[in-house]
A = this chain, B = another copy of it.
Amino acid sequence: MSADTRPVVLTGDRTTGPLHLGHYAGSLRNRLALQHSHRQFLLLADTQALTDNARDPGKVGRNVLEVALDYLAVGIDPAQSTICVQSALPALAELTLLYLNFVTVARLERNPTIRQEIQARGFGRDIPAGFLCYPVSQAADITGFRATVVPVGEDQAPLIEQTNELVRRLNQQAGRDILPEARALIPAVGRLPGVDGRAKMSKSQGNAVPLSASPDEIRDAVRRMYTDPGHVRAADPGEVDGNVVFTYLDAFDEDAATVAELKARYRRGGLGDMAVKRRLEEVLQALLAPIRERRRHLAGDPGHVMDVLRRGTRLARERTQATLEVVREALGLAVLA
């Protein structure tokens, strides 16, 4: 499709576990829309996942297929979006190594996202070198695909800034614009909280609803969902803000008018948690049933999924290799045909 003039978007996921409702609300849903308006590349970021999972590389390897299954199950269309595996794209590793020469250690250490993540992971003084360097690896991903749009959470905007700094530095060195700058696409909807009310849904915290959840798991998750602890009897007025059930209704119930009405009744008093939860459960069961079914079906044919990954990766390999050659040639590095 050389006539494809749609803007190029690069997004993807670290392959550390199957995806959950938080991913659906925060990114997968956007991608279903983007794949029509954009030339979309979805990167299964196993190499990046290693930067803080070196003690369990097997987990990173196994979950490549799991995340691919999630993509296809929610409706990512391989004819529209290119799904590819990061570790099978050597040009990205080569660009990373090249770019590392154009950024200082001090600059990487100042990156706010990295500082925050180092703290969150409790690395202390033992920061893996790969982790410190992952923003450079990400710059290689973005520029390797010549992406100009990169959906990221607000806390990750400094990573795009780091990429653009590198782009400017390389363009300056080359004496012409060989790489495009990218812009962060920050989603309007904030991050979905865990079912326990904690800020982030995460498998490791046990507060996530995986996309493959069974009807029972969905029911259980909704039952133990955090509401308003002060709302003891149905007749009492209740809090809607910070009430996970309502946050989820806002995120997944397509009937906004009914949700607004429920909120009003809940605030006034006279609406029990059970009734609201029953509605949310219906919404989630309806959302996840077809995803679960497609996922189960696809999981029974891993050969097909691997084919999708192979085709996507082949396409991505050509594209990223072409960028590598442009960069190498513009810098005057030897190209051994």
Q: Chain A interface (Cβ within 8 Å of chain B)?
A: 46-47, 50-51, 54-55, 57-58, 60-62, 64-65, 85, 87-88, 90-91, 93-94, 96-98, 100-106, 108, 125-133, 136-137, 173, 306, 309-310, 313, 328, 331-334, 336-337
Contact = CB atoms under 8 A, between A and B. Distances in A.
A179 to B, nearest CB: 15
12 contacts: A46-B333, A50-B101, A54-B102, A57-B331, A58-B333, A61-B332, A85-B336, A87-B333, A100-B129, A103-B129, A105-B127, A105-B132
Copy total for this chain: 2
Given A64-B334, A90-B90, A90-B93, 11 more contacts: A51-B100, A55-B173, A57-B173, A57-B333, A58-B332, A62-B332, A85-B336, A87-B336, A100-B133, A104-B125, A104-B128
Contact of A54 (B61, B101, B105): B101
B102 A128 contact: yes
A162 B306 CA distance: 37
B101 A90 contact: no
A103 B129 CA distance: 6
Nearest to A329: B61
B93 A97 contact: yes
Contacts of A102: 54, 128, 130
A101 B128 contact: yes
Contacts of A51: 100-101
A58 B108 contact: no
Contacts of A85: 334, 336
Given A54-B173, A101-B131, A106-B125, A91 B88 contact: no
A154 to B, nearest CB: 26
A331 B53 CA distance: 12
Contact of A336 (B88, B136, B336): B88
Contacts of A332: 57-58, 60-62
Give the 9 A-B CB pairs with smallest separation, nearest first. A58-B332, A90-B90, A100-B130, A101-B130, A57-B331, A54-B101, A93-B93, A88-B336, A61-B333
A103 B309 CA distance: 31
A15 to B, nearest CB: 8
Contacts of A97: 47, 93, 96-97, 130, 137
A306 B334 CA distance: 11
Nearest to A324: B90
A47 B336 CA distance: 13
A90 B95 CA distance: 10
A108 B129 contact: yes
Nearest to A60: B333
Contacts of A64: 334
Contacts of A309: 336
